[in-house]
Structure 1
Amino acid sequence: MAKAGETRQRMLASAVELLRERGTRGTSIDAVLAHSGAPRGSVYHHFPGGRAELITAAVRQAGDYIGSLFEAVAEDGDIRTGLELFARFWKQALVESDYRAGCPVVALTVDGHDEIPQSTATVSEIFQRWHRASVLLLERHGYEPARAKRLATLAVSSVEGAIILCRAERSVEPLDEVVTELLAFLES
């Protein structure tokens, strides 16, 4: 028998995967239950706020995972390592999902604000965390704060845009191109 924490985590993992592939509107409680194999009563036991709480928690979990990658690189890594790590993560996700997987944070950003009132604050907080870690990394490599802030915006936006292009083209080439150009620009 699964422990309560395992059921909750399974539901969150399923919600993240469904958000990545179907977006917010395509991620229903029924879909999460079917995907995770969790019993129906689990939803309101683990997520008393229902679908909105489940989706928000799933996006936070995904955002925290990526945020921890950004922060680890900002603490100990270099620009090349950071971009290559992020690109490797996304290329694997794209290929393994047959180019159906996108960013769950973007999914909530694009189509969650009408259904999930707290979505704007949630995604803003996540993107700010990613941005702060990127700024820190750039500052540690000699960029002055204002420029590091602008370049971090460019990098995060470019990679997220490349993920969308990869899905559309069913190829990792757009991501490779963006990373190559960002590295050439940032290391020059």
Structure 2
Amino acid sequence: MSGRDRRGTKQRMLDSAVLLLRERGAAGVTVDAVLERSGAPRGSVYHHFPGGRNELVLGAVRQAGDYIAAMVDSSRAEGDAQQTLEHLVRFWKRALTKTDYRAGCPVVAMAVDSREHLPDAAELVREIFARWQASLAEVLAAGGFPAERAQRLATLVVSAIEGAVILCRAHRDLGPLDDVLAEIGPLLDRTR
């Protein structure tokens, strides 16, 4: 098997674990479920993830966190926080409708799930949320907000988006994301 094939199998397994986290939470990410969804052979689990299920789950959470961070980071150069918020809202609307409201945020899933069997999960979740908040704060500061206010607004944006995703799933309606955009968007506009 070539190196490319191995990377492909590992990535399929991580992608499958992310999807399972989004839909079922950490408890729903079993080795069997990942293998079934990814189509990977059983022996590939410990080949790619010597730490087993725990390493796989933590890798999936890290990947999901990196994905959102990259979205925020890509808007940092523009320094337009409102545009960043709009981009995040569009992303979550697409994700929710594409999965018929089954898929939420895998980082939130890990944050609220019981983690006694994944001792490194709590620190990883804190790191991911802190990274998102710091990136958003940088976008806000680049847009002219004082550093302290930029940090508070970044916390508000992360909290509002994540809460809205949960409400959208509960109500099977995208309205909470629209509400976040309508009410928080103007707070991020320095021209007003």
TM-score (norm 1): 0.97
Give the whole-Å Cα distance in 2 for the aligned partners of 1:16 and 1:155: 23
**1:96 partnered with 2:109:** no
Q: Which runs of 4+ in 1 moved over 2 A?
A: none
Segment of structure 1 superposing worse, 40-49 or 178-187: 178-187
CA distance in 1 between counterparts of 2:26 and 2:111 reads 9
Q: CA-to-partner distance for each residue in 1:115-171, whole Å, 9 max, x for gaps?
A: 200001111111111011110011111111111111110110000000000000001
> C-alpha distance in 2, partners of 1:168/1:59?
22
Distance 1:149 1:123 in 2: 18
Contact 1:24 1:107 in 2 (8 A): yes
Q: Identify the residue that residue 70 of structure 1 maps to in structure 2.
A: 72
Give the aligned residue type for 1:163.
Answer: V
Equivalent residue for 1:118?
120
Distance 1:86 1:74 in 2: 13
Q: Contact 1:135 / 1:148 at 8 angstroms: preserved in 2?
A: yes
| 1:47–1:53 CA contact under 8 A, matched in 2 | yes
Q: Aligned match of 2:153 in 124, 143, 151?
A: 151
Residue 173 of structure 2 is aligned to residue 171 of structure 1: yes
Deviation per residue, 1:69-109 (Å, 9 max, x gap): 11111222412210111111100000010000000001111
1:141 equivalent in alignment to 2:143 = yes
CA separation in 1, counterparts of 2:103 and 2:112?
A: 15
Unaligned runs of 5+ residues in structure 2 are: none
What are the Cα deviations for residues 27-62 of structure 1, in whole angstroms up to 9, with x where unaligned?
111100001010110100000101110000011011
Return the letter of the residue paired with 1:118: D
Paired positions, count: 188
Distance across 2 between alignment mates of 1:115 and 1:95? 32
Residue 45 of structure 2: aligned partner: 43
TM-score with structure 2 setting the length: 0.95
Which of 81, 84, 88 does residue 86 from structure 2 map onto?
A: 84
| Greater Cα shift, 56-65 or 71-80 | 71-80
How far the C-alpha of 1:113 sits from its partner, in A, is 2.0
Q: Any conservation in 1 of the 2:16–2:34 contact (CA below 8 Å)?
A: yes
Q: Hey, what does 2:21 align to over in structure 1? A: 19
Deviation of 1:186 after TM superposition, in Å, equals 2.2
Tell whether the 8 Å contact from 1:112 to 1:119 is kept in structure 2 after alignment.
Answer: no
State the identity as a percent: 54
Alignment partners' CA distance in 2, 1:114 and 1:75: 39
For 1:176, the aligned partner's letter is D
Cα drift, residue 26 of structure 1:
1.1
Which position in structure 1 is the counterpart of 2:187?
A: 185
Match of 1:55 in 2: 57
* Alpha-carbon distance between aligned partners in 2 of 1:48 and 1:175, rounded to the nearest angstrom: 39
